[in-house]
Amino acid sequence: MKHFILPAAMLAAAPAHAATGPFFSLHNTNFIVLLGFLLFLAVLVYFKVPGMLGNLLDKRAEGIQAELDEARRIREEAQTLLASYERKQRDVQDQADRIVAHARQEAELAAEAAKTDIQASIARRLASAEGQIASAEAKAVKEVRDRAATVAIAAARQVVAEQMDAAKAGQMIDASIAEVGAKLH
């Protein structure tokens, strides 16, 4: 490794060895380079390049600060907006829960009302059916009585007709006329 360091050092030091003679001579390259550098700096100062660079850097810093302030403001607005949306979401969720609870309560009340209506309807139908049954029963009893009376009359007529002769019929007619005459006077 020592073998490589020595030649590299020699190559790097070669320009320094090129300067010969006194330092403040125009033949000394180091002095010329120094004069050129100082002249370059003087031109930069004359044209106010450091001030322009400072202004540009200040403007850039102000721009960056403005962007940071804008980003901070936007972030705060976003956080405020997010909090607002979260609050609205909670409010909407609460309202939805209340609506669902109200709907359930109304459904229960409607079910109870329907149950009561069904019971009342069943009671009315039972009463109507009992009334129809009683009416049908009374009608059937009346029909049976009417039929029994008709049969009894027919049977009595037949019995009377079989037992009745002309003399008995005349006596009965005379008795009926006398009875009517007694009731009219």
Instruction: Give me the tens of pLDDT residue by residue for the chain, a chain 185 residues long.
Output: 555 454 444 444 445 555 566 887 888 899 999 999 999 999 999 999 999 999 999 999 999 999 999 999 999 999 999 999 999 999 999 999 999 999 999 999 999 999 999 999 999 999 998 899 988 888 888 888 888 888 888 877 777 777 777 777 788 888 888 888 888 76
* Euclidean distance between CA atoms 125 and 39, whole angstroms: 121
Query: What's the pLDDT score for residue 167?
Result: 77
pLDDT of residue 38: 96
Report whether 28 contacts 21 (CB < 8 A).
yes
Q: What is the pLDDT of residue 13?
A: 46
pLDDT value at residue 103: 95
pLDDT at position 7, please?
Answer: 47
Q: What is the pLDDT of residue 19?
A: 52
How many CA atoms lie within 13 Å of 67's alpha carbon, on the beta-carbon side?
Answer: 6
The Cα–Cα gap between 126 and 120 comes to 10
C-alpha 140/C-alpha 134 separation (Å) is 10
- Reported pTM: 0.39
CA distances from residue 59 to 45, 65, 159 in whole angstroms, order as listed: 20, 10, 143
Give the pLDDT confidence score for residue 163 in this predicted structure: 74
Determine the pLDDT at residue 3: 54
Domain ranges within the chain, ordered by starting residue = 14-47, 50-141
Token code pair at residue 94: 């609460």
- Whether 27 contacts 21, CB under 8 Å: yes
